[in-house]
């Protein structure tokens, strides 16, 4: 079959006894007619990989936010170094330790260190390069242990966002969502489950192709927790001018994003690789983390990621005026994270010098 440029619309109907209409048609090439049902549809929009950094994270922070971030970093370092020693890397808004998170969190149990928010995606126990596969019960217990340790350093109005995938369970299920195994085994209070829906993924023949992962939204308190809905409203409203009794029905900032979020995955491949792609094999997109950081914390708050990986949580925290504290057991991922932070600051400096680029849909982030 030749390229799509060689296609033209045909006046032939798809079925011989079907009346010819503009909707019912098939595609033909110079030497063949494509009778496949999918060929009736218009071609899908071209894949657009995620950018190196979402444009909104490149907007410069106000001076008072930068000062609050700097002061909070200094205070946080003092409370951490007393129990953990010096981190591998520290600068304004970003503190990274190269060590096991469970060991570190247990060491902090008697400290003054407190986090307002934890955002993380631990190993899924499926044999990735950075993990040791455990027996299922051992994995569940390990998960309970580190989550309990996170709870111990979370402030009274703090939140915990947990991303997990799927595992096979012998004689029970082929791909069981890990949240179903641990959701009620921690001291946190579960607020809700958010479904992350994405387009790219593995294919399947005996089931529907998986295109989602879960984010569990927990808090320490049942009712008192930070939730900045106005900071994350979706301006893409279908009927923005609809009124009731002379007043607009929709919030002027946009709608509640709901509990199903559509963000592209960080992809690989020729002409498909995301510009934010790093060598880390399980990287989630900055767009998701930025939303979580904004909704569940405020400027100057501490944001923790006990499985820092490529430091997506760290970039989102720095970019929104928070203070990131990360633990990562692999030194190569730590070095990668520091380099990624350097590139982020370079992009932000460039945006400050050329603010007009931030008004472009592509923005500076598409240049790298």
What is the spatial distance between Cα 127 and Cα 348, in angstroms, rounded to a whole number? 36
Binned at pLDDT 50, 70 and 90, residue 60 comes out as confident
What's the whole-number mean pLDDT along residues 147-164? 97
In this prediction, residues 110-130 reach a mean pLDDT of 86
pLDDT tens for residues 64-117? Answer: 999 999 999 999 999 999 999 999 999 999 999 999 999 999 999 999 999 999
329-332 long-range Cβ contacts below 8 angstroms, 24+ apart: 329/98, 329/99, 329/100, 329/101, 329/130, 330/98, 330/130, 331/88, 331/98
Helix, strand, coil % over all residues of the chain, rounded to 5 = 30, 20, 50
Looking at residue 289, the DSSP 8-state letter turns out to be H
pLDDT at 38: 57
Which are the contacts of 174, defined by CB distance < 8 A and separation ≥ 6? Answer: 168, 207
Residue 19, pLDDT score: 42
Q: Using one digit for the tens of pLDDT, what is the confidence trace for 19-45?
A: 444 444 444 445 566 666 655 666 655
Give Cα separations from 294 to 120, 179, 264, 300, 348 (angstroms): 15, 23, 19, 12, 18
pLDDT at residue 41, rounded to an integer: 63
As a residue count, the chain comes to 368
- Residue 207: predicted pLDDT: 84
Share the mean pLDDT of the chain: 82
pLDDT on residue 12: 33
Burial-class residue 146 by CB neighbours within 10 Å (0-12, 13-18, 19+): buried
Q: For residue 129, what are its two tokens?
A: 């390069």
Q: Give the pLDDT of residue 275.
A: 55
Predicted confidence at residue 32, as pLDDT, reads 62
Q: Is 214 helix (H, G, I), strand (E, B) or coil?
A: strand
Return d(Cα 356, Cα 260) in angstroms, integer.
33
pLDDT at 56: 75
The topology (CATH level 3) of 55-193+218-225+266-367 is Rossmann fold (3.40.50)
Angle between helices 312-319 and 286-296 (to 10 degrees): 50
> What pLDDT does 40 receive?
64
CA 38 to chain centroid, in Å, comes to 32
Q: How confident is the model at residue 51 (pLDDT cuts 50, 70, 90)?
A: low
The residue that leads in pLDDT, 327 or 10, is 327
User: Distance (Å, rounded) from C-alpha 154 to C-alpha 225?
Assistant: 11
Inter-CA distances, 20 with 29, 159, 161, Å: 19, 58, 53
Q: 3-class DSSP state for residue 352?
A: helix
Q: Are 86 and 101 in contact (CB under 8 A)?
A: no
Tens digits of residue pLDDT in 243-285: 787 788 788 898 999 999 988 776 455 455 455 545 454 557 8
pLDDT in tens, 184-243: 999 999 999 999 888 777 778 888 888 888 999 999 999 999 999 999 999 888 877 787
**pLDDT score of 7 more than 60:** no
**Domains in the chain: boundaries:** 4-40, 55-193+218-225+266-367
Q: Say if residue 50's pLDDT is above 60.
A: no
Phi-psi domain of 301 (left: phi exceeds 0; alpha: psi -120 through 50; beta: other): beta
- 234/167 Cα distance (integer angstroms): 33
The pLDDT value recorded for residue 191 is 97
Alpha helix ranges (H) inside the chain: 63-84, 101-107, 136-152, 179-182, 286-296, 312-319, 331-353
Burial of 316 (0-12, 13-18, 19+ CB in 10 A): buried
Are the C-beta atoms of 81 and 114 separated by less than 8 Å?
A: no
Lowest-pLDDT range of 139-148, 176-185, 271-280, 352-361: 271-280
Q: Rounded mean pLDDT of 329-355?
A: 90
Kindly state the DSSP code that residue 120 receives in the 8-state scheme: E
Predicted confidence (pLDDT) at residue 304 exceeds the cutoff of 60: yes
Please give the C-alpha separations between residue 267 and each of 49, 194, 202, 271, in angstroms, as whole numbers.
Answer: 7, 21, 12, 10
Q: What DSSP state is assigned to residue 47?
A: P
Answer for the pair 308, 122: CB distance below 8 angstroms, yes or no. Answer: no
Whole-number pLDDT of residue 49: 52
Q: At what angle do helices 312-319 and 331-353 cross, to 10 degrees?
A: 30
- Alpha-carbon distance 116 to 276, whole Å? 26
């Amino acid at each position: 079959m030749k390229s799509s440029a060689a296609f033209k619309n045909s006046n032939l109907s798809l079925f011989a006894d079907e009346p010819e209409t503009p909707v019912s048609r098939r595609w033909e090439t110079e030497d063949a007619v494509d009778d496949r049902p999918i060929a009736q549809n218009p071609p899908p929009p071209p894949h657009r990989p995620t950018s190196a950094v979402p444009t909104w994270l490149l907007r410069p922070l106000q001076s008072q936010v930068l000062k609050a971030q700097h002061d909070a970093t200094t205070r946080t370092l003092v409370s951490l170094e007393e129990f953990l020693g010096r981190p591998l890397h520290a600068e304004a808004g970003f503190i990274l330790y190269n060590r096991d998170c469970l060991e570190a969190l247990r060491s902090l149990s008697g400290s003054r260190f407190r986090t307002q928010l934890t955002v993380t995606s631990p190993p899924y126990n499926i044999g990735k390069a950075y993990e040791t596969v455990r027996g299922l019960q051992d994995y569940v217990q390990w998960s309970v242990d580190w989550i309990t340790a996170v709870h111990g350093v979370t402030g009274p109005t703090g939140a915990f966002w947990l991303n997990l995938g799927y595992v096979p369970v012998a004689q029970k299920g082929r791909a069981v969502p890990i949240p179903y195994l641990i959701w009620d085994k921690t001291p946190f209070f579960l607020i809700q489950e958010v479904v992350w829906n994405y387009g790219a993924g593995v294919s399947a023949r005996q089931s529907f192709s998986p295109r989602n992962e879960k984010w569990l939204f927990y808090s320490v308190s049942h009712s008192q927790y930070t939730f900045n809905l106005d900071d994350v409203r979706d301006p893409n409203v279908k009927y923005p001018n609809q009124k009731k009794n002379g007043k607009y029905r929709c919030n002027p900032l946009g709608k509640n994003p709901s509990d199903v979020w559509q963000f592209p995955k960080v992809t690989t491949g020729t002409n498909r690789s995301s510009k934010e792609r790093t060598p880390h094999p399980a990287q989630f997109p900055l767009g998701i983390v930025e939303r979580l950081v904004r909704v569940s914390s405020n400027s100057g708050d501490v944001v923790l990621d006990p499985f820092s990986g490529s430091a997506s949580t760290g970039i989102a925290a720095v970019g929104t005026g928070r203070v990131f504290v990360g633990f990562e057991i692999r030194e190569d991922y730590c070095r990668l994270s520091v380099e990624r932070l350097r590139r982020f600051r370079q992009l932000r400096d460039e945006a400050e010098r050329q603010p007009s680029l931030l008004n472009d849909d592509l923005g500076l982030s598409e240049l790298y």
